[in-house]
Amino acid sequence: MNDPRPIAKPFLLTALVLLVLAALFGLLASFSYLFPEWGKQSFGFIRLRPMHATAALCWIFVGATGAVYSAIEHKFPGSLSRTLIRVQWALWIVALVGAFGCYSLGIFGGREYWEFPPVVALPIALSWLIMLVHFARVMRNRGSWPVYQWMWMTGIAFFLFTFIENYLWLFPYFRAELITDLTIQWKVNGSMVGAWNQMLYGTSIFLMVRISGNDQLAKSRMAFFLYFLGLFNLMFNWGHHIYTLPTDAYVKYFGYLVSMTEWFILLRMLYLWRSSLSDYRKHSFYFPYRFMIAAEVWLLLNLFQALLMSIPAINLYTHGTHVTVAHAMGTTIGINTMILFAAMFTFLEKDIPQRIFPLLSKTFFLMQGSLLLFWISLLAAGIARGQWQINANERSFAEMMQDLQPMFITLVASGTLLTAALMVFAGCLGWYARPGR
């Protein structure tokens, strides 16, 4: 059997560059909350927000792709095709250059989170199709799959499906009826999050099996039960995004009911919390494990928040407010980014000198603390905005935004610290794992 090759390193390094860009663009965009006129006729919020969102999403997609390929290479050394991986990576680079080039020139045309002109989506779709074919080729005839292989397959297939569905608006049939259009847009957004979570949670189970040496973690009935619960939610729980949309009642009720099944996951996590804590004490020196535990804490907080927001009576007060942004940031940074860092450390750790570990250890806690403050400031801004929405006629939008200034100052300050912490980790991983070192 061959040793694992660093075959997915281009994906991991590209993902780290995207993380740095996402953090920087996000920080620059947040200045608009404090200095309204700042760069508005040139590089203002209208260009920086899509740059931030696309870089952040692509950090997750490209990072997840790199993590899944690295995991496959560790499990089945020599099985992956270097050519297919290079072609897939090149397609991503073409798409990223196209997307950021368009944003820089102020050329838009796409949907929220995918604001680049639709033609730029073609290399992304093609790249994902190659990954699906590649995965199917490598995994066929491998006997009974552990749950993480199911999760990877599900994530790859459903990402491709939802990504194509994301462009149904190109047909006037879908675009002319606004309510259907918005329903499909949020069906896509909800399911796509489920798809990338399947890839990332699958990777985290793979890492847990690797750390603990207990293969049963990925083969038990409970592991598969939780996989199917996740799949069920990926497919059907997106309705909680659109309770205020005048769409068909069955869509809202179904979304409401399916969302509530996630209480099971929350209660199970609380039940297992004590044993997780004792495991943490044993392995806390080990960076991948530390990031996994951070992801678990953020999952607990965000799942509780998501469950509350999925109750329509509560959602009414949080919908369209910064509470939703808090949830998006809490999940993409708190959960997805922590899992990706755990994977990056697992696959790149041998490149990193031990002498910088004390710096990274301090930065780890700076990252968690600043993210917590960032999250709380968004929640506070969202609650205040929610109150304004319910009494919308009493004060103007501009007056309400002015009242939120203390929250926005906290947001920018904590965001600056968070950006610094993310850049230290991304910089160290990228620098020591760079090609030719």
Partner 1 sequence: MKTPLVPFVLLCMAFMAYTISIYQRPLRQPVPASEAGRIAQGRLVWQKYNCQSCHQLFGLGGYLGPDLTNLLSVPGKDANYLKAFVRSGIRQMPAFDIPEEELELLVDFLRAADRSGKASPANFRIKSDGMIEAHE
Query: Per CB under 8 A, which of residues 326..385 are in contact with partner 1?
Result: none
Nearest in space to 109 (alpha carbons), one of 167, 179, 39, 181 = 167
105 is a site residue for partner 1 (CB under 8 A): no
Please identify which residue in 78, 86, 248, 362 interacts with partner 1, judged by CB under 8 A.
248
Q: Is 197 in the site for partner 1 (CB under 8 A)?
A: no
Q: Is 148 in the site for partner 1 (CB under 8 A)?
A: no
Q: Which amino acid is at 7?
A: I
Of 244, 261, 284, 405, the one binding partner 1 by CB under 8 A:
244
> Which of 139, 184, 265, 383 contacts partner 1 by CB under 8 A?
184
Q: DSSP assignment, residue 386?
A: H
Place of tokens 């149904």: 168
Q: How far apart are CA 1 and CA 4, in angstroms?
A: 9
Report how far residue 373's alpha carbon sits from residue 415's, in angstroms, rounded to the nearest whole number.
9
Q: Check binding of 10 to partner 1 (CB under 8 A).
A: no
Q: Which stretch binds partner 1 (CB under 8 A): 8-16, 199-207, 232-240, 262-270?
A: 232-240
Q: Which stretch binds partner 1 (CB under 8 A): 85-93, 228-236, 274-282, 413-421?
A: 228-236
Near partner 1 by CB under 8 A: residue from 24, 81, 93, 256: 256
Q: Does 141 bind partner 1 (CB under 8 A)?
A: no
Among the candidate windows 39-47, 295-303, 338-346, 419-427, which touches partner 1 by CB under 8 A?
39-47
Question: Beta-carbon neighbour count of residue 394 at 10 Å?
Answer: 9
- Interface with partner 1 (CB under 8 A), residue from 25, 69, 128, 186: 186
Task: Kindly give, in sequence order, each residue whose CB lies less than 8 Å from that of residue 60, ignoring residues fewer than 6 positions away.
Answer: 196, 200, 332, 336, 337, 340
Between residue 292 and residue 311, which ones bind partner 1 under the rule CB under 8 A? 311
Tell me which of 13, 20, 25, 45 binds partner 1, using CB under 8 A: 45
> Which of residues 32 and 414 has its CB atom nearest to partner 1 in the complex?
32
Distance CA 322, CA 315 (A): 12
| Burial of 286: CB neighbours in 10 Å, binned 0-12, 13-18, 19+ | middle
CB-nearer residue toward partner 1: 108 or 280 = 108
Q: Which stretch binds partner 1 (CB under 8 A): 206-214, 246-254, 279-287, 411-419?
A: 246-254
Report how far apart, in Å, the C-alpha atoms of 65 and of each of 11, 336, 340 are: 7, 13, 10
- CB of residue 145 vs partner 1: minimum separation in angstroms? 7
Contact between 110 and 117 (Cβ < 8 Å): yes
Least Å from the CB of residue 193 to partner 1:
15
Tell which one of 76, 167, 174, 286 touches partner 1 (CB under 8 A): 174
* Per CB under 8 A, 406 contacts partner 1: no
Window of 2-10, 30-38, 333-341, 350-358 that interacts with partner 1 by CB under 8 A: 30-38
Quick one: which segment of 223-231, 272-280, 285-293, 332-340 binds partner 1 (CB under 8 A)? 223-231
CA distance 117 to 405: 34
Chain positions 73 to 102 lying near partner 1, rule: CB under 8 A, are none
Give the interface segment with partner 1, choosing from 199-207, 241-249, 276-284, 352-360 (CB under 8 A).
Answer: 241-249
Tokens, residue 121:
């989506």
Indicate the DSSP class of residue 144: S
- DSSP sequence for 190-239: HHHHHHHHHHHHHHHHHHHHHHH--GGGGTSHHHHHHHHHHHHHHHHGGG
By the rule CB under 8 A, 169 interacts with partner 1: yes
Binding residue for partner 1, selected from 127, 315, 377, 414, defined by CB under 8 A: 315
List 101, 109, 406, 427, residue binding partner 1 (CB under 8 A): 109
Cα–Cα dist 201/205, whole Å = 6
CA distance 411 to 184: 32
Q: Does 240 bind partner 1 (CB under 8 A)?
A: no
- Give me the 114-133 binding string for partner 1, x by CB under 8 A, dash otherwise: -x------------------
Q: How far apart are CA 199 and CA 230, in angstroms?
A: 12
Which alpha helices (DSSP H) does 35-146 contain, by range? Answer: 45-75, 82-104, 121-139
| Residue 435, phi-psi category: left (phi > 0), alpha (psi -120 to 50), beta (remainder) | beta
143 or 213: whose CB is closer to partner 1? 143
Q: How far is the CB of 324 from partner 1 (least distance, A)?
A: 8
**397 contacts partner 1 (rule: CB under 8 A):** yes
**The one segment of 37-45, 93-101, 126-134, 346-354 that binds partner 1 by CB under 8 A:** 37-45
Q: Residues 6 or more apart from 204 whose CB is under 8 A from it? A: 292, 295, 339, 342, 343
